Structure 1
């Protein structure tokens, strides 16, 4: 009998809830559904980080939904990207699975023709647009016919193997990021060792014979472009590094190889000549150099370099009208206009990492990246009609539409969204016939990098953030039943976890995505529904050794306190060495640095040191040397967790205590920093 009563009660409850949902006025239902809020907020600076993933819905002038990232107007999570997510992951995993089963050897030593050096380890490729000279009996040296590729280019397979290696390692790295399958890491390591490190198969760190023109002694500067996609592997190495299978010896070898290659790129006759190129060759030279500097942790050089590179390329390469005149001088003018823009986008996106806004930079005559995008737009919408210069290759749209997607995210201009909708059928047609420009998953990942405010490694890394996979039972209250299932789950997960510290995991920022959710089960006691959910959170947890930038918040007896704006519990202890003293007059700590000026030039003995005052609000760069998790205790028993997994470890964790992040004297998570290296400390110092 009690069983029957409970069943009837459950049925009545469901009927009542259904009646209220269908007939209760919508405006009342919405009022009962409060906006997402962060409990135990640390400060208001955390808001933009959370809003980067949890968005505010706005409609455009057509009534279509748009989602803006934050007050700057950047747009988050376009609906088309939501639809593409699972397709993109499926395609990446499929490509990675193919790479797993591909046992072909990729090596420069397999080419059928040796370079003039006689060393098979020297990379070699032929000039793409060079042909035999018909006026010479032997056709040598080859002469240039721009826009007309010589099929002989593919007779030497170094270029083909290089591109395949770049693409496969990238796919394997991202497949690991999305699946946590260690097999992808193993294969990626094998490919990297094969190309860069193995004594039998490795490539020498130079491009002396790239772009080789038959009849000449060396390669040509244009051949440096062959290596421009090195960014593909440099952007996934940090993902692979998160695996416990990652071999540190590979990292050491790669750092050595990339250091030697960067030296060749910037000091050799061929490399320096390519750097002076004024068209897309120069742009992608800058892309290579910038990504290499970043990978080699030469951050100060990278920041100076990217600022100068963007100014040079925009000021000289773009007219006030937006026309890229060095590209439109080519017979394949449309292709190279889009291609050079891709390079500028890569530079601008990487520049964001260093606080340099290349997206909105304007040259002395108003030149800008946006104007270059806009110059192409009317011709794209009219199948190239009216294009003012010669163009022998047609007007393929796939890569340009990728740039429009990014432009919409960056600039928030509705005309880009409208153009995307109009041009997408053409891009699908190009993909259907196997267009070589159809690697749209690359753009999806770039979009997510921008859309998530660079919380994740995709096109650009913000290393201090990781993804954590959790499994939990999430309940949905009856007043949220009117919401779509995943929206209700998102709200509840953020309510539970946002701005909380999970012991040994880090500070949870917000939900990134939901991987799976079971069917809901209605609880007869309170009417709420329950679902077992697997999801990922964006978590703040820098790695030990990482360099961060913040500002001095205070000076205490223990040392210098630093804030990142959304995280305040950072201490730089002053008992680490004898190069600290406390200035009682100003009540701040002072860091002493040995003066590099010769002693005979000192005016007094005090000139032995340079004095860095840790004034409040001083911008500061520091290295993370330790972290501390403290169980500060909570009211009531800790929530039960079925399991956790982070992207930086394959270890399954269980029953970890979740602690509200607040301003108590004891903090659940603290970072320990150091500035005991030249280049660290006050960012305003000129260390040169």
Structure 2
């Protein structure tokens, strides 16, 4: 049975798709999803990409800090929610959960976020047009960050989210490289098309070394074992970096972590994330963890298992999480829990989790809402927790397609 992509999002056709073999059903989902995003985002993608053509690569080496305990190639950041102690102004900083300190060093994080905005947009523009200018400029960023000796970043996060007077780096800082997830996805499209064999090898070697650090270092192991969104962010990074270097064992390990740890330990019976609801930013972190968990399912979707279909015996799964959040994404005023201590008015923005669960859980209202939401937030705090901006890149079989 052949199904037109335009007809995919009708209820009758979606039901008919369920009769297809799994591999063919995924191909139909994939093609329809690509076309949906291409038609929705084409103008926004092209506008951004044209602007980004004028911007030169700038890596961590462009933003030195005299507060960094590392060298010029080491990523450095300071923990967001730590402030001087009024009782001891020159002593160790203290925690104020949910309240970001604007005086902390963010130069490297801002540079990485810029990378995560520019490379995916340039890559999406190339997918839509096949204009090599976009691909070549995206590749220049990849070379600067991961290949060129003078500018490349070191393959660890030993000095991320340090706390003044307490520690030079924490495992929680690994969440900073969540912004490399979509860069790695973009690289899987761009590198084979426009980068030399030597540069491709160096690029993959960087992500191989960094993934090894994530899996074996003291900080990486500790982050994997955290009990909230940090572990899910670790898993999404591991899954995407492993995808780029074709490390199927790591991807299988992450899938098991999702099924045996994340769903039973983090997802409530009603589809909420109780550990996120207990935070001072319950709305923001609930959406964030839902988005990252859904993107993990999407990252692993082109492997042997469909995690969108996975459910615990009591019905808990990513589709249940979508059911819980959808009403509050549609109408924030109905949120029955505490308001976030900061940035509540800047939410919600366009949720990638809403798009992908809408497609995979057959919830057309999710997709309709997704189309209406803001895809380009300007609030720096929201951007920090918004790692996926170009869902066009997340439909792997469309790499050779011109929209």
Normalized against structure 2, the TM-score is what? 0.85
**1:359 paired residue among 308, 312, 317:** 308
Q: CA RMSD in A?
A: 3.4
Aligned equivalent of 2:78: 126
Q: Tell me if the contact between 1:338 and 1:399 (Cα under 8 Å) persists in the aligned partners.
A: no
CA 1:443–1:208: 2 relative to 1, 3 Å? closer
Q: Tell me if the contact between 1:314 and 1:363 (Cα under 8 Å) persists in the aligned partners.
A: yes
CA 1:319–1:196: 2 relative to 1, 3 Å? same
Aligned equivalent of 1:275: 224
Aligned equivalent of 1:147: 98
1:198 aligned to 2:133?
no
The structure richer in strand per residue is: 1
Normalized against structure 1, the TM-score is what? 0.52
CA distance in 1 between counterparts of 2:256 and 2:389 reads 26
**1:186 paired residue among 136, 146, 149:** 136
CA 1:107–1:435: 2 relative to 1, 3 Å? closer
CA 1:353–1:328: 2 relative to 1, 3 Å? same
Q: Tell me if the contact between 1:132 and 1:142 (Cα under 8 Å) persists in the aligned partners.
A: yes
The unaligned stretches of length 5 or more in structure 1 are 1-46, 61-65, 449-457, 470-512, 514-688
CA distance in 1 between counterparts of 2:310 and 2:240 reads 20
Aligned equivalent of 2:54: 101
> What is the number of equivalent residue pairs in this alignment?
393
SS at match of 1:125: strand
**1:88 paired residue among 18, 24, 41:** 41
1:71 aligned to 2:18?
yes
CA 1:68–1:182: 2 relative to 1, 3 Å? farther
CA 1:329–1:354: 2 relative to 1, 3 Å? same
Higher relative contact order by CA 8 Å / sep ≥ 6: 1 or 2?
Answer: 2
Aligned equivalent of 2:157: 207
Aligned equivalent of 2:197: 248
CA distance in 1 between counterparts of 2:334 and 2:109 reads 35
1:82 CA drift (Å): 6.6
**1:298 paired residue among 247, 257, 264:** 247
Aligned equivalent of 1:409: 359
The structure richer in helix per residue is: 2
CA 1:92–1:303: 2 relative to 1, 3 Å? same
CA 1:303–1:215: 2 relative to 1, 3 Å? same
Aligned equivalent of 1:222: 172
CA 1:386–1:123: 2 relative to 1, 3 Å? closer
Superposition pairs of residues 550-589 of structure 1, within 5 angstroms = none
CA 1:81–1:291: 2 relative to 1, 3 Å? closer
CA distance in 1 between counterparts of 2:396 and 2:57 reads 31
Q: What CA deviation, in whole Å up to 9, does each residue of 1:4-40 have, x standing for no partner?
A: xxxxxxxxxxxxxxxxxxxxxxxxxxxxxxxxxxxxx
1:320 aligned to 2:273?
no
Q: Tell me if the contact between 1:106 and 1:194 (Cα under 8 Å) persists in the aligned partners.
A: yes
CA 1:239–1:222: 2 relative to 1, 3 Å? same
Q: Tell me if the contact between 2:117 and 2:389 (Cα under 8 Å) persists in the aligned partners.
A: no
CA distance in 1 between counterparts of 2:400 and 2:311 reads 34
CA distance in 2 between counterparts of 1:242 and 1:79 reads 24
CA distance in 1 between counterparts of 2:211 and 2:33 reads 39
Superposition pairs of residues 643-658 of structure 1, within 5 angstroms = none
CA distance in 2 between counterparts of 1:317 and 1:52 reads 38
CA 1:69–1:189: 2 relative to 1, 3 Å? farther
1:369 aligned to 2:318?
yes
CA 1:190–1:325: 2 relative to 1, 3 Å? same
The unaligned stretches of length 5 or more in structure 2 are none
1:107 CA drift (Å): 2.9
CA 1:170–1:58: 2 relative to 1, 3 Å? closer
CA 1:308–1:415: 2 relative to 1, 3 Å? same
CA distance in 2 between counterparts of 1:249 and 1:356 reads 33
Question: Which structure's CA Rg is the greater one?
Answer: 1
SS at match of 1:151: coil
